[in-house]
A and B are shown apart, each in its own frame.
Chain A
Amino acid sequence: MERDKNFILGIFDDEDILLNAVREVRKAGIKIHEVFTPYPIHGLDEDLGYKRSRLPIAAFLFGLLGTTLALTMQYYMMKFDWPMIIGGKDYAAFPDFIPVTFELTVLLSAFGMVGVFMISSNLKPWAQPRIFDLRSTDDKHVMAIDIANNAALDLDSIKETLKNVGATEVNSKSFE
């Protein structure tokens, strides 16, 4: 992230105004770096043109892995590695394997997916995020526009647009 040090921030109070603003701003051909909100706003991702997350697929694959692991483990341990007569049942008593299989499926699926989420969103205890505006985790929605990325347009017009679409404040922020 060397390039973009300097940003223009549009601060919004209301999520509906924000959503509208996002659409307007993009119509105006301004490239939005990212929008920071204190809570999830439905539809924001579409308006920003983000592709649907592929996390469900990850979850499914991990779940599948869990199922296979569980079944192979139980069959191997009970039937092949050391078969023992237990309660007169067959060595591999399939009905008895269902609960553990289910649990392991859920376990791997959940942890796999969360793991992927953490990595993809760069969430880790020692992560140092760039805070554009402290209020963005409180009550304000912050739209960040990367100046370098919008070199074509001049700053004032961007600020103008932001004001027009209902930003309560328009500040500029630069990271060293």
Chain B
Amino acid sequence: MKENKKTYWKGLEQLTNDPEFVKHADKEFPGFKGSNSKAGEGDSSRRDFLKLMGFSLAAASLAACEAPVRKAIPYVNKPVDLDPSIPNYYASTFISGGDYAAIVVKTREGRPIKVDGNDLSSITQGGTSALVESSVLSLYDSQRMKGPQVNGELVEWAAIDAELPAKLRAAGNIKIVSNTILSPSTERAIQQFSEAMGEVELITYDPLSSYGITKASETYFGSNALPTYQFDKAEVIVSFGADFLGTWISPIEFAKQYSKGRKISKQNPEMSRHFQFESNLSLTGANADYRTPIRASQSGLAVLSLYNLLAQNAGSGTVSGGSLELPNLARAADELWAQRGSSIVVSGSNDPNVQIVINAINELLGNHGNTVDFSRPSYFRKGNDERMNQLVTEMNAGSVGGIIFYNCNPVYDFARGSELAEGIAKVKVSVATTETKNETASLVQYITPDHHYLESWNDFYPRRGEYSLSQPTISPLFNTRQAQESLLKWAGINTSYYDFIRENWQGLFDSQETINDFQEFWDRCLYKGVYTEPIAAPSEDESSPAILTPVGDIGTAATALSRDNNDAASGPELVLYAKVGIGSGAYANNPWLQEMPDPISKATWDNYVTVSQKWASDNGLKMQEGATKLANVTANGISITVPVLVQPGQAEGTIGLALGYGRTEAGRVANGVGVNAYPFLDTSKGHVSYDILEGVSIELTAETYRIAQTQTHHTYMGREFVIQEATLEEYKEDASAGRYHPEIYMDGEFVKPSKISLWSGHKYSQHHWGLAIDMNSCTGCSACTVACQVENNVAVVGKQEVLNRREMAWIRIDRYYSSPEGASSNQELEQAADNPEVTFQPMMCQHCNNAPCETVCPVVATTHSSEGLNQMTYNRCIGTRYCANNCPYKVRRFNWFKYHDNKDFAGVNTPQNDDLGKMVLNPDVTVRARGVMEKCSMCVQRIQAGKLSAKRENRKIKDGEINVACAIACPTEALVFGDLNDAQSKVSQLLKIEENTLSANKEVNEERAYHVLEEINVSPNVWYFTKIRNKDKNEA
């Protein structure tokens, strides 16, 4: 060990990715060879795991020496020298194309094991998403590129550096294809490269394109800016198919804003009203107060009609074609008009014409500068569909000399991927820099793998005035090199990218006065992870005054719209969308994302065509336990066979299909999961269109299929003891509206269930941990479920076991549809309404004070702590499953098989099977053995850590210092965790717990707070807040 340390110290003096050193590190790291050959069989033993720990320690000393000394500053006041078992936190930035999140990386012994949100960011404000939470696992994907390759042969970097630049020069006419680049330094690196190389063009596209918006603002305002939306400032929100809580542009940020407008209390009983007009039932639509299912072909006209309605109000001229009668549209118009300036209208359409009208509407409403801010443009989407389109043509024409795919995968995720694939062959020199193998990289000559973002230095400029940094939290696991550095090297510049960034930040340093030493400025920025320019000085590259003045008119757009979208359209229309978990599919090889149930359909490990209930009944299709039929879907002359999922809320005449599946070169986990829907995308109008209006057909085949859904019963059967909801009006009259108060008859009177007990109950003299969950804030985004999986080493079980109804999730989000109006019989209640109201209810162990599970365990394997926690003692558990049977919330999970180190699960449960994957495991949490029960522990390891640090510093625990993984991840602060014995804690305040009592059964005075299943008096430590909808009457 001592020797090793020495070598590392030596290795440290050089740059961490010195090949010499990396080779050495590889030898240190047992999983490396294994991950080539053996991991597939997953036959690694306990011994391997110990060896791995050995490596971790080595890596630890490395990270410890490296990070603090001169390159990184711990996020919180941790000892600079790393202590084993004491985590270090580093501020960094998650980035995947234009998807952005400011994060804090938790490392243990030098291994990044968890990603949390960075509260200091003014954009994501500490929120995360499932994608961000899961990204730490893709770092340890054993199928990442092991090193640079030439025509599939592993080579040394030196070899490539020697030949590639010359070849590129020779080839000439170099195109760099990329998704949106948020990093100014990267852009400068590319600039440097093009200066050195001559004719180089950067072509940007986005798998989930917002070209329509930028294009529209160009025509409408003369500046191709993507505005900054502020849903928190909006009283009325109207969205035409924009899934801004799920997948649209910057969902974490929008969810954060949105929830601000949705939180209500007695003091502030006002909330925004949200209208949604869409074809598929999106996460956003599920949260809307008024949702109107519309055909895709109507969306453009709907926007026009809204414009006309508003124009009438404004007394300005209307345009032709916009005379569509839609439920709630007129009402939306009136309320928008009433809330001029504090309302917002958005559309998810990628059609510039639609976006032009949207601009006009927001202009009409005076929202520009308020809720839609062009003065602080965002840069999340820079893609140019038309240019990308041309490129494909040029490539096939053979006019492209060299092409570099910078961390993108157009062969898979661009509309004309297959043509592009053919084009690559016609290009003289083709290079890909992706860190993982993918459909594009597998076709190019040179693969020069980039670091994973957790191994890289980088800077980002997501919005005017807002900067952020990312820093390495572990030294590179493989023989990879940062793409920017490669570009610089090929351009003949031998500076490290780290220094390169610092040079660029010199400018920022000069532009501020507060700190006058660059090193200090840098360290502070690195420490915080984000930096906001004092005054957002308009930089020269774009010209956008505070309020833009319209230059274009919408007449042409209007006519174009009414031409393209004929309301009378007959045949089915295909609406392609992205799932909240998998998104564009770039991270499809991440089993956590694959097993995350889709927030709406609750399906895992698959995509499927969603059809309306009417279509299903017309075609005699009935789903039971996920059993369904396959159908042939045909569009743009392409036909694929895909399972059908009956989706309440799906607009009649439309079908939906998710992108991001059907990967072929992603790796063991993702390959062959679902079907690839990108080829359906239509580029005929220049922009990439996600709505296919013509030439779509779908017919059922006889073949049956089972979709692995974690929830197959979709209504709550009118059970008030589960879901309690009310409308805002009702709430204003009576704060306890919608509450259900069960009473039990005893000794001649009706009493609260909690009043009846054989036992006096216990007292929690120290702490009493509790959780308050606001069903109004929960958007169902499922970031918490992945966060929990990461934090607690929850096993991935794969599709078959999900089909067997054995998923291991500790926290799930129950999604309930409302039954049709007036439903009373059980049969009726079991049906979902055609356009249902949706309620999301996060469900985890309720930590009951009178826990039914504890009583029945014959071997006291589950008991109650003196702090109100329901504890599970894995190594005492003998697996009778009696506790799970007797759990009224069904949150206990049983290890039916050995999920770790088991070749049967190696293909899906990578974090517990292959050696590299195991590095992501949280060392504070046991990996459960076969045959034991497990469940939410309220992150007891975090509670323990917090108590210990408080004890070490000999002080009381501060509220908020201890928090559970799900609550931290939640972008909407729907979950609030804290000490119920501490009257000052946020959770006590929320629940209005009356002072005094240390008793286990707390009395809460918040009218909205309720216990699920209050009548059985298990006295949970988790409270739910009634769901309040901002609508006139409850259709539930």
Using a CB–CB cutoff of 8 Å, the interface residues on chain A facing chain B are: 84-90, 93, 95
Contacts and interface: CB of A to CB of B under 8 A. Distances in A.
Which 8 A-B pairs rank lowest in CB-CB distance, beginning with the nearest? A87-B855, A88-B850, A85-B864, A87-B854, A84-B863, A86-B854, A88-B849, A89-B759
A86 B866 CA distance: 11
A100 to B, nearest CB: 12
A90 B763 CA distance: 11
Most-contacted residue by chain B among A84, A86, A88, A89 (CB, 10 A): A88
Given A87-B855, A87-B864, 17 more contacts: A84-B860, A84-B864, A85-B762, A85-B864, A86-B854, A86-B855, A86-B864, A87-B854, A88-B757, A88-B848, A88-B849, A88-B1019, A89-B758, A89-B759, A90-B759, A90-B760, A95-B758
Interface of B: 757-762, 848-852, 854-855, 860, 863-866, 1000, 1019
Nearest to B1017: A88
A87 B849 CA distance: 7
Contact of B864 (A88, A93, A95): A88
27 contacts: A84-B860, A84-B864, A85-B865, A86-B854, A86-B855, A86-B864, A87-B851, A87-B852, A87-B854, A87-B855, A87-B864, A88-B757, A88-B759, A88-B761, A88-B762, A88-B849, A88-B850, A88-B851, A88-B864, A88-B1000, A89-B758, A89-B759, A89-B850, A90-B759, A90-B760, A93-B759, A95-B758
Contacts of B863: 84-86
B762 to A, nearest CB: 5
A90 B855 CA distance: 11
Most buried by B among A84, A86, A87, A95: A87
Contacts of B866: 85
Contacts of A87: 850-852, 854-855, 864
Contacts of B851: 87-88
A85 B868 CA distance: 10
Contacts of B850: 87-89
B1016 to A, nearest CB: 12
A93 B864 CA distance: 15
Contacts, number: 39
Contacts of A95: 758
Contacts of B865: 85
A86 B761 CA distance: 10
Interface centre among A84, A85, A89 (most CB of B within 10 A): A85
Contacts of B761: 88
Nearest to B850: A88
A27 B759 CA distance: 70
A89 B1019 CA distance: 12
Contacts of A88: 757, 759, 761-762, 848-851, 864, 1000, 1019
Contacts of B855: 86-87, 89
B780 to A, nearest CB: 32
B346 to A, nearest CB: 50
A174 B39 CA distance: 85
Contacts of B848: 88
Is chain A's interface secondary structure helix, strand, loop, or mixed overall? loop
Contacts of B1000: 88
Contacts of B852: 87
Contacts of B864: 84-88
Contacts of A89: 758-759, 850, 855
Nearest to A91: B762
B876 to A, nearest CB: 11
B678 to A, nearest CB: 54
A86 B860 contact: yes
Contacts of B849: 88
A87 B761 CA distance: 9
B852 to A, nearest CB: 7
Nearest to A87: B855
B811 to A, nearest CB: 23
A90 B854 CA distance: 13
Nearest to B862: A86
Contacts of A85: 762, 854, 863-866
Contacts of A84: 860, 863-864
Nearest to B762: A85
Nearest to B864: A85
Nearest to B886: A87
Nearest to A93: B759
A90 B760 CA distance: 8
Nearest to A86: B854
A85 B850 CA distance: 9
B907 to A, nearest CB: 40
B534 to A, nearest CB: 56
B746 to A, nearest CB: 18
A95 B760 CA distance: 15
B578 to A, nearest CB: 46
Contacts of B759: 88-90, 93
Contacts of B758: 89, 95
A101 B849 CA distance: 27
Nearest to B851: A87
Nearest to A89: B759
A95 B849 CA distance: 19
Nearest to A88: B850
A86 B863 CA distance: 5
A93 B758 CA distance: 10
A145 to B, nearest CB: 60
Of the listed residues B757, B758, B865, B866, the one surrounded by the most CB atoms of chain A closer than 10 A to its CB is B758
B497 to A, nearest CB: 56
A87 B848 CA distance: 8
B768 to A, nearest CB: 12
A96 to B, nearest CB: 8
B763 to A, nearest CB: 10
Contacts of A93: 759
B402 to A, nearest CB: 70
A95 B850 CA distance: 16
A36 B352 CA distance: 113
A74 B391 CA distance: 81
B477 to A, nearest CB: 44
A87 B863 CA distance: 8
A89 B850 CA distance: 7
Contacts of A86: 854-855, 860, 863-864
Contacts of B1019: 88
A25 to B, nearest CB: 61
A89 B760 CA distance: 8
A136 to B, nearest CB: 51
Nearest to A84: B863
Nearest to B1001: A88
A61 B959 CA distance: 61
B59 to A, nearest CB: 40
A11 B851 CA distance: 72
A157 to B, nearest CB: 71
Contacts of B757: 88
Nearest to B1019: A88
Nearest to B857: A86
A88 B759 CA distance: 7
Nearest to B868: A85
Nearest to A82: B860
A76 B1019 CA distance: 28
Nearest to B853: A87
A88 B1000 CA distance: 8
A104 B539 CA distance: 87
Nearest to B849: A88
A85 B758 CA distance: 15
A119 B865 CA distance: 51
A80 to B, nearest CB: 15
A84 B857 CA distance: 13
Nearest to A77: B860
A3 B865 CA distance: 74
A95 B758 CA distance: 10
B869 to A, nearest CB: 10
A87 B1016 CA distance: 13
A150 to B, nearest CB: 64
A95 B866 CA distance: 23
B864 to A, nearest CB: 4
